[in-house]
Structures are given as C-alpha cells and as structure tokens.
Structure 1
Amino acid sequence: MTAIDTTTDRPAPSKPKVSQFRRLLWHVNRTDLGWAIKAALTTLQLPARAKRIELLNRLPSKPEWSEASRKLAADGYVDVSELVDRSLAEAVAAVGEAKVSRLNELTDKQQLGHKSFWVSLLDEDLVNGAFATDHPFVRYALQPAALRIIGDFMHDLPQLSDVLLTLSQPTPNQALSYSQLWHLDHDDKRVCKLFIYLTDVRDTADGPFTFIPAGPSRPFRNTLKSHMSDAQVFAKTGPDAVKEMIAPRLSSFIVNTARCLHMGSRIQSDHNRLLYTATYIQQPRIFPEPPPRFRAAGALTELERAVMRL
C-alpha cells in the first residue's frame, strides 16, 4: 500500500482531563501494589467471579487451545493464526479495506487524534461511543477460540474492553512518541490484546508489532516510566531479547501487553500497516468502569453478555 498524505489544518483535539484519584490509581497499578487492589476487588465480587468461571467452562475446549493458553501464560504471547476462524478474519479485513478506501474522509472524523503516526478508522461506526454487537470486529473478538485461550490464561471469563482499527503511516522528521516507544499497558493488571495484520508485514520497514517476552520484560514490571527509548530498554535487556512479528496478512496473535514490553508503528517511507486490535481485561476492572463500549444488536448468549458487560 502506498502512503497517503492525510495532513489537514484541523486543530489537535484537547486531551481529556484526568482526575487526581484516577492518576494516583494509574501510578499504583504500575507497581505490584496493583495486585493487592485487584485481589481486594475480586474478593468483594466472589459470586460474580464464580458465575464467570461457570460460563467460561461452557465454552468448547481443544488441546491446541489449551497449549496456546499455556504458552501465553509462560511467554506472554502466542501466535493463533491457525486456531482462529478464517472467515471471521476475512470479514474483518473486508471492513478494514473499505475504510482505507475512504481514508481522507475518515481522517477528518477521527476522535483519537493525538497520535500523528496512525489513524483510527472506526469512529463512524460508534453510536454514543458504543459498537453494535453484530459488528464484524466485535464478532471476531467473541469467537470461542479467543475467549477460551485468554480465559484459561486468566482463570476467568475475560472482559472485552475495546476493538480498534488503525492505519499506521510514516511520520518523517518527527521524533518517536507514544506507542512507538517501549511501554507496558496498564489498563489493568492482566491485559491481553488480540491482533490481526490486515496488510502484509514483510520486514522492519512495515512497522511490525515489536515486543520483549514476559521473562526478559520482568525488570520493567514496577517501573513508573510511561514510555522508554531503545537505549533505556537495551541497557537492561540487550537487543537480542526483542521479537518482531513479521508475518503475512491475516496473521493473528495474542500478547499480554501488561507483561511484555512492546512498541510498534515505526513505519518507514512508502509503507503503512493496517491493524485490528481487540483488548481484554480480567474483571473486576481496577479503574472505574467507563461508559458502555458495546450495544446489543440481535440475540446474544448469556456468555456474550457477560464478556461485554451488557
């Protein structure tokens, strides 16, 4: 795909204000103290957790899914390209390609505009900030393979927090920023992201998702730094620990981004990368629950309602 100029004269959107309580909680959650908060919240909701586990156990189980869950727990990541539903992935890709064909129009409408190196392409699909549950991006995230692999790792039915479609593009002469720098995700103590490459990622020029597995990432577990440079990271791990997800279109993988230090979107000239992301956390959420991200459309199972908190 050829890079497209999306420069406009729109003013940058202002950042939402963050309460002091939430800011404090965010810093606490960066440390092992966050586990104490998580345990306390879970203890207050034991009946609800028992019900979620019951629902998780209703999902089908396969040996290859169990092995994927074991690898996710041990290494912090797993390639699930051969385990997920190919037809659902193709449906996601069709939506993504249709969005890219209207790129300039959608760029003007995007709500998340603070990252100059990527464009969020699903904003027009939201109604009052929520996706319909029959949206292909939501259906992909709800497939049994994904829920079972992540659920067995979490020992709990995961909560689907968000789905996202982003087109990463080159930003020549701009310093690396935000998720182009090394970081951990602190949405909660356990955060798993399910990705699909919707374009081929052939080499480093395509800006692959790049990470350090859970073991070598351990020295950064209690760091209060938000984003770190290569030099800061390699001083503790060395570059040999780094893994780049070089893979063809429709490759799908799961990463525990709360444990695996990661970065991406370092796109070089004349390249770009279209990426699907679904984010899951383990209930109960440490932070105050945000407004609903999903709205019911059609019949839903009890399990699906629990996953999306509907």
Structure 2
Amino acid sequence: MTKTALTGMQLGARAKRIEILNTLPVAPEWSEASRKLRDDGYVDVTSIVDRSLAQAVAAVGDDKVRRLAELKGKQQLGHKSFWVSLLDEDLVDGAFATDHPFVRYALQPGILRILGDFMHELPQLSDVLLTQSLPSENKPLSYSQLWHLDHDDKRVCKLFIYLTDVRDTKDGPLTFIPAPSSKPFRNTIKSHMTDDKVFTKVDRSAVKEIIAPKLSSFIVNTARCLHMGSRIQSDRTRLLYTATYIQPPRMYPEPPARFRTTGPLSDIERAVMRL
C-alpha cells in the first residue's frame, strides 16, 4: 500500500523513467532473461554481460584480496564476522565514483534492460559491494547465513559475480528457493530463519545452490526468493560482487548519495543513479 501510494504521487517521474527505459536497445536474449526473472525469481546472465567489464571487476577484487589484512581493519560494515567488506577505501564522503569498474558493471545496457522490463520502468541502482566470505564452521550461523528475504524495498534485485570459483557447498554458494516456492514466506517473514523453520513450509528439493566458476554472473530477486549464503567451511573463501537495484520510488527515506559524478554520463546512467 505504501509503495502504491508513493508511486501514485510521482506518476510524472515514473513516466519519464519509462520513457528513458524505452531508449535502451532490445535483444531476444534480454527479453528471455527478463521473463525468467519474472517467473522464477532468478536468471543466469553470464553469457549476456560484458566479459571485459567482468574481468575489470575481477582485477579490482584480486588487488583487494592481496591487501586483505590491511582492508579488514578499515571496513565500515563490521557487524558480520563471517565476511569482510573490501570497497570502503574507494568511497569519498560515502560515494563511489561513477567511473569505478564496479559501477560500470552495474550500468550495462543489457542488465538495465532486463531489470527495466521486469520492473516495468528504469531501475534505480542502490549500491555496489565487494565481500570476502571467511570460514565460519563451528560458529553459530547469523545474519545472511540464515534464510531471509531482502526488505530494502518492495522490489529488490541483486546482480552478482562470483570472483572465485564456487566448486561445492564448502565454498558457501548463494543458496535460494525460487520465487514460486518462496511464496509462503512473503509478507510474513520478519527476520532471519533457521533451516528447521524453513523446511517446515517448503521441501528441501526446492533449494537451488549456485555452484559455478569464477566470473559467473546472475540476478536474483532477493525480495521474493528466500535465500542465504556465506556458509564457508574449512580453509575456503568466497569473493563476491553485488549490485543492488530497487524499483523507484524508494519506500524509505532516500539515503545520502551513493555515487558521485566523474566523467561524462548518459541520461540513462544519471537516472539510474539519481544524479
């Protein structure tokens, strides 16, 4: 109801975002990806994304990992002991430069078209993140290691890239329940849930683990798909890129600007980042 009311108050802005979305190119594979995202709540976009942009993201990630000990002491998001946030040093007054490789990856026309067709308007890029998940066995599971839905907004989609190989369950793959099977939890789940609670409502056979090599990229509607991850075992680690998008207008007060203009930007890019 809140989202509907806010949208109704900003019909002109929404019409403009739809107009801008319609200037993006189209492709059959993008349309099919958007359909799958709508029906299942997730889609693999490895074959769709720009490989050179993915490699640029991976190069940044590799450099950060080489400096892990240094960056671990600087992270601002320190409440999750099982992972380290590695991009905090790239922020100026809390904002990323728009020419940062992580931002450029999130602005690919194909990704914006897939998300835009799904949301029926141009999406809003909310944040980008690089996390190194660390071994957590013999420790109680917490936060995103437990099953949950994202409540950043009514519609939330996340674009991920694995920046290390995720070979099996020990590497802590992103694990989720597709949208149709997650339906019993929507509008009822208020917090993170243990496996025992989840599997009283859904069969374990519905669970999907994303086991995939480095540079695999995928989108998940994390507001509709119950999910968890970072259950790293033994001496494994997992490096993960995440870009978060919402369907505007935002339900909650708009946070401080997350992006700062560096270099020329298109109208589409400005609209996506609210610049």
TM-score by length of structure 2 reads: 0.99
- Equivalent positions of 1:25-36 (< 5 A) are 36=1
| Cα drift, residue 208 of structure 1 | 0.1
**Residue 44 of structure 1 aligns with which residue?**
9
**Residue 228 of structure 1 aligns with which residue?**
193
The answer as to 2:261 corresponding to 1:296 is yes
* Counterpart pick for 1:121 among 86, 97, 122: 86
Counterpart of 1:100 in 2: which secondary structure? helix
* Counterpart pick for 1:265 among 203, 209, 230: 230
**Equivalent pair of 2:148/2:189 in contact (CA under 8 Å):** no
| Cα drift, residue 172 of structure 1 | 3.4
1:205-232 deviations in Å (ceiling 9; x for gaps): 0000000000000000022431000000
Identical amino acids, percent of aligned pairs: 78
**Residue 214 of structure 1 aligns with which residue?**
179
**Residue 149 of structure 2 aligns with which residue?**
184
- Equivalent positions of 1:1-310 (< 5 A) are 36-310=1-275
Stretch deviating more after TM superposition (169-178 or 202-211): 169-178
| Cα drift, residue 125 of structure 1 | 0.1
CA distance in 2, matches of 1:198, 1:265: 14
Counterpart of 2:73 in 1: which secondary structure? helix
CA distance in 2, matches of 1:50, 1:177: 41
**Equivalent pair of 2:24/2:113 in contact (CA under 8 Å):** yes
**Equivalent pair of 2:181/2:202 in contact (CA under 8 Å):** yes
AA of the residue aligned to 2:259: F
1:221-273 deviations in Å (ceiling 9; x for gaps): 02243100000001100110100000000000000000000000000011010
- Corresponding pairs, count: 275
Counterpart of 1:109 in 2: which secondary structure? coil
Displaced runs of 4 or more, over 4 A: none
Structure 2 runs not aligned, ≥5 long: none
AA of the residue aligned to 2:36: K
**Equivalent pair of 2:86/2:130 in contact (CA under 8 Å):** yes
Structure 1 runs not aligned, ≥5 long: 1-35
CA distance in 1, matches of 2:111, 2:96: 19
AA of the residue aligned to 1:201: V
AA of the residue aligned to 2:40: D
TM-score by length of structure 1 reads: 0.88
